[in-house]
Every structure is written in C-alpha cells, then in structure tokens.
Chains A and B, each alone.
Chain A
C-alpha cells in the first residue's frame, strides 16, 4: 500500500482516539483512507475533516488536552499554518502526533517531493523555546511503525511528535506488515495514565486546567526549565539512526528519509568501483545523532550530506564534526529528486577527484 495509507491503517491499529485533518497534496490519502475505513464503527476512533489546518491542529490541541491519542497530517504549506498550535501543544505539555508529508516550497511551491522543512521541524517552527520529536521514515514500513513509536514517545515525554516524511514515502507503494490491532484506552486507563487530562471533574476530583499562559515571569521561567529538562532526557534516551558500510568507509554520506535509499544504491555502485563509502541515516532528526556521526566520521576523508533541499541538515552534520572533516552538501530543489548517479558525481567532484571539476 501507499505510505499515506499505511499511516491511516497504523493509526487505527494503534488504538488512536482521533484524527483531524484538511486535504492537501501529497498526503490527502491519509484522511481519505480513514474516512473509507470508518473506524468510528469499529474501534470508536473519531475522524473529522476540518475547515483548515489551523482548525485541525487546534482540534488536536483540544483532544490532546482530554488525554486522548490524537493526530493530524498535512503537507508543508499546511504545516506552516499549524505552527501556532504546535507551539501551544509543546507549551501545554500535551502528547500528539503530527505527520508532515513534505512537498517543495517555499510558498505554494510544488506538489512534488522535498525535504525543505527540516529547519522548521527541528529548530522550532513556531514561537518560543521548544522542540518536537521528529521521526524521518524512509520506507512504507517505517511510515506504519512510526505512528505507534511517535504516539508512545509523545505520551512518554508529554510532548508533540512529528513524522517528517516526504512526498516519495507518502506516495510510494510497498509491502508492509501492519501492527496488530490494539484496543483504545478506556476512560479509566486515560485517567490513570494522564492525571492532568481535562475530562470534567469526574468523581469530584480537583479540577484540571490545561494552559500555556503564565504571566508571572519567575514561574514561566521555571516552566521553561522543566521543558528543557524534558528535552535533555529525550536527547539522552531517544536518538535513533541507521548505519550501512561505515566500518571501512573512506567517505560518508549522511541522508534521511527517501533520499537515504537512493544514496544506498549510489554507495553500492561506488563499492563496485572500489570506492568505500558508508551511510548514516538519522531516523530521529531531533534529537539528532551528533555523537554517532562524530564517531563514524573519525576515519573518513569527507562527508557528503545529501538532502532534497538547499542544505539544511548539513548545519547539524557540521556541528557534529566541528570542522574536523570537510562536509559538503548535494541536493536538488523544487520537487526534483536526485538519482544515484548524480549522488556519485557529487561525491567524485567534491572529494574523490576534485580537480576533474
């Protein structure tokens, strides 16, 4: 099935309580699949087409505040509209899942694939000091798997998580093993897991208030310190990445999402020619695998950062190696996806045979 369809199936099977979304190419199949599957008849999951992405993310905010497992999906321009709500979710310490199936920008841009929202997703996006947990799937299987992982991490740390896919993974069809069907949590289970949830003062308990407002600066600073402690915990525990052929590599490619698979083909082609190239694929873009890249870069002559954008993740790769190794970027923009030969050519031009260029 398509990556977008896998997201929908995985959400139902995870036992998600609600999905709120607005159609936008190239991810509309998420909402379409959910509407076709009618999960409100089976698991009791709520599905609603909102009037805008602004409304979608605020429905997610309202639903998350009641302790429910809620999500939305969109593509780049729509995710820009959601930034206010995402900042509120982070500030109110609410778990939620946001899926961005990226298309080329800026502006209305193109409907074709891109990875140009890396800065937006990993460096904040909305206002204030906050981070999202950002998962970057490169296969349809990971699209399905990261729904559960994203929700689990969001609830573990009480913070929103994002699946940052691109139009390729969203539209691509692959075989996928879907997770087993889980039951949605009962109200009693939610009350136990989320004692902060706004559910009405059930049983006469003291009231719960979910808010991001605090006019006392001293308290607001304490709140921010608490958010930062959570982020440090996430950085300590949740870094995820994949390595291929890094043990003997002379050159390293760092790439995430769909382009990592294209790079792997380029690496295998290079190895046939006797050029030893390795791959690091960050799976969590935040927290970023700085240590793993620093470690893998110890014996290489150069790092090529391949992204479907003008060079965004390269800033984090440079931070990881602190100029100890030369780092170059290769990418295409505007919805054009590089092929393996272009990646090899860039590697040759930048590192292997720079005089040729």
Chain B
C-alpha cells in the first residue's frame, strides 16, 4: 500500500506547507527552528507572497534557512541581516523582506544594525529566535543567556557582575518610533504555535502595508546547547525563560489607535 493510498485526500487534516522544501533538516530534535520555519513557510504561502518574499538568513543555526523555505534568499554576514534587508526593501519596494536571526546574531554582533533598521522604520519583518545561547558555535553565552545558566563560556553559570545582565532586546526596540509591532511568542505548545503564527501573519501584513518595522521574538529551546532532552528543555524554558522574557504583544501601533 502506498502513502497516498493510506492517506486519503478526504481524510487529510494536515499537509507539509507548500513552501517548506522536502529536505532533511539539520536541526536537533526538540529545536524550535523547525516549527518556526514551518510557520514562516505557511504565512508566506497563505498571504500569497511566494513571488514577493525575500528572506535574509543569518549566521548561526539558521544559516541554512535558505535550504528549507522555498523563496529567494540572501545569506548575510554575522549580524548584518537588517542592513541587507534595508537595501533590498528600499530598492525593491514591491517586495516583502524579512530577516531570520538568532540572539547572538541579532542582539550581540548585529545590535547596531538591528537598532538602526528599527529606528528608521524599515518596512521589514525581523524574526528573532531567542534561545539564549550560541547553538551552532557550540553553546557559548549569548546576550540573552539567563543569569545562572551554564554555557561553554560561563561554565559556572552566568553572573551579572562578570558577564552583564540578559538583554531584553524586544523591549529595547519597542521604545523606537520606527517599530509598529513588537511581540514575544513561543512555540512549545499547540496553542503557542497558533499564537505565534498569528503574530507572524500580522508582521508580514504590516511589511506589505509599509507600516514600519515588525519585530517578532520567538523564545526558543536549544536542547543540545542546554544539554537537556526536548521535554526538559520545554519545561525549563517555561519555568525560566518565560519568566525573564514574558510572552505577549509589547507594542502594536494598530491596537493603540483602535
């Protein structure tokens, strides 16, 4: 019996998104990237942006995002995605440009590019995958690593007197006049996934309508970097990450005027 025979069209309740390529992902079990990739692919497809979307990939685990989501991509240098997106968007105003970045990329080496793209109000979507660690590089401390968290470069736990405080970068960009929508989401439960998809949809619609910069942070797990099982990682994220990085909309220009 073939797969098609088992899964009858009338019984199908779920399918791989049309813009998610049929490749084996390199992400670790339990990693949030896979779910967020799926959501981005779905949102681009559902909004009819397959021919208009330009993605900017970061340096880090999502460096290969261009292998998985079926749209045009530019691979940026570490941290520079918002600068690339600025030019790609301004020179191609009919297109919808989004960046997909990790916390090391966006909130450490790319802080200046992030802040200035947001304060200029570039009509782009910035997606931040915040798992509080450098995953690809081997689990070092990132700007968003929680206090007490053990990493390769904070082997005894992050201490603010030695390593500074964890950076709430979404709160920072929410203060900038150029951002129209700043939200913090997670994808650890089906309900959270639905909310995150709604947030991404709003962000892409904002970019299309040229309302300014939309910033979507997804508080994420890194089971490999955190040295936990996927289940433990989800639990640890809920109990610790969500306390420091509470979920929900931080800024929504539309909500204010309504």
Chain A residues near B (Cβ < 8 Å): 17-18, 20, 46, 48, 50-52, 54-56, 58-63, 65-66, 68, 70, 84-85, 88, 92, 198-204, 207-213
Contact = CB atoms under 8 A, between A and B. Distances in A.
A58 B66 CA distance: 19
Interface residues of B, number: 33
Given A203-B51, A209-B66, A213-B63, A198 B72 contact: yes
Contacts of A200: 51-54, 71-72, 92, 95-96
B113 interface: yes
Given A60-B87, A92-B75, 15 more contacts: A48-B90, A54-B112, A61-B77, A61-B80, A62-B87, A66-B91, A66-B92, A85-B80, A88-B77, A198-B73, A198-B88, A201-B70, A208-B72, A208-B73, A209-B73
B141 interface: no
A201 B66 contact: no
User: Which interface residue of A46, A56, A92, A210 has the most chain B CB atoms within 10 A?
Assistant: A210
A209 B68 CA distance: 12
Contacts of B77: 58, 61, 84-85, 88
Contact of B91 (A46, A50, A84, A208): A46
Contacts of B76: 58, 61-62
A254 to B, nearest CB: 36
A207 to B, nearest CB: 5
A65 B85 CA distance: 11
B72 A55 contact: no
Interface in B112-130: 112-113, 115-116
B43 interface: no
Contacts of B96: 200
Contact of A58 (B52, B63, B113, B115): B113
B204 to A, nearest CB: 13
Contacts of A59: 83-84, 86-87
Contacts of A48: 86-87, 90
A201 B88 contact: no
A151 B96 CA distance: 27
A204 B113 contact: no
Nearest to A60: B87
B112 A62 contact: no
A56 B63 CA distance: 22
| 10 A-B pairs closest in CB distance | A62-B84, A211-B75, A58-B83, A63-B87, A62-B87, A59-B87, A58-B80, A51-B116, A198-B72, A55-B83
A50 B83 contact: yes
Nearest to B115: A51
Task: Give chain A's interface secondary structure class.
Answer: mixed
A61 B51 contact: no
Contact of B72 (A18, A68, A88, A201): A201
A85 B113 CA distance: 14
Contacts of B113: 51, 54-55, 58
Contact of B88 (A54, A66, A88, A209): A66
Contact of B95 (A58, A199, A204): A199
Given A208-B72, A211-B66, A66 B116 contact: no
B87 A20 contact: yes
Contacts of B74: 61-62, 65, 198, 209-211
5 contacts: A51-B113, A59-B83, A66-B92, A210-B73, A213-B63
Contacts of A207: 70-73
B70 A62 contact: no
B185 to A, nearest CB: 26
A61 B84 contact: yes
**Counting chain A CB atoms within 10 Å of each CB, which of B77, B83, B95 scores highest?**
B83
A46 to B, nearest CB: 5
A348 to B, nearest CB: 50
A245 B90 CA distance: 50
B108 interface: no
Nearest to B53: A200
A268 B214 CA distance: 64
